[in-house]
Amino acid sequence: MSNIIKIEDVENAPNKRLQVDFEDFINEINTIAPIKATLEVSSLGEFVKITGNVKGRVILECDLCLNEFEYNLDLDIEELFAKNTLLDEYGQETEIKEGQFITDLAGKDNIDIYDLLYQSVILDFPNKKVCGIKCKGDDFLSEENFAQNQVDPRLAVFKTIQVKKEDNADKK
């Protein structure tokens, strides 16, 4: 099945509702198995609403020890898309209140499910990715490791930076 939902197909569906099943890998996300989603797409006049559930297992990198670990995805999504450009209707400034996050299709006649799921999955990842409650990440930052001159590999680039000092007398 295509990962593109045509607005016309939703409009012509019984009760203006379509069920979409997605089972595929998302290239930009390190997954163990295909991500599965069951979505309902509904036409609501000037808007299209997509609701559903997404499940899968992904591999993340621990922020403390830098080891990889498995993370279970199980998230509900609810997205609202405006069929026509919102800016024409609301003018230049609009206050967005809770629950008013709407994606503007700007007249496009389709919705990319692959992109929607990519964004939903990425936003579901925890802010602090930790492999477990017993993570030994503190050992990585211990004084012993610093004494051995070990550097976090993510920060190695900063060893090559040279700072040019300015003479304060030249500024006056």
Whether 94 maps to a domain, the answer reads yes
Mean pLDDT of 56-81: 90
In a domain, 155, yes or no: no
Over residues 24-36, the pLDDT tens digits come to: 999 889 999 999 9
pTM score of the predicted model: 0.67
pLDDT band, residue 12 (cuts 50/70/90): confident
Q: Which domain holds residue 17?
A: 4-134
Asked whether residue 164 is assigned to any structural domain, the reply reads no
In the chain, the percentage of residues whose pLDDT exceeds 70 is: 76
Dist. CA 128–CA 74, nearest whole Å? 18
pLDDT, residue 72, reads: 93
Q: How many domains does the chain have?
A: 1
Q: Quote the pLDDT of residue 64.
A: 85
- Looking at per-residue confidence, does 44 or 1 come out higher? 44
Range with lowest mean pLDDT among 56-65, 83-92, 99-108, 159-168: 83-92
Burial of 121 (0-12, 13-18, 19+ CB in 10 A): buried
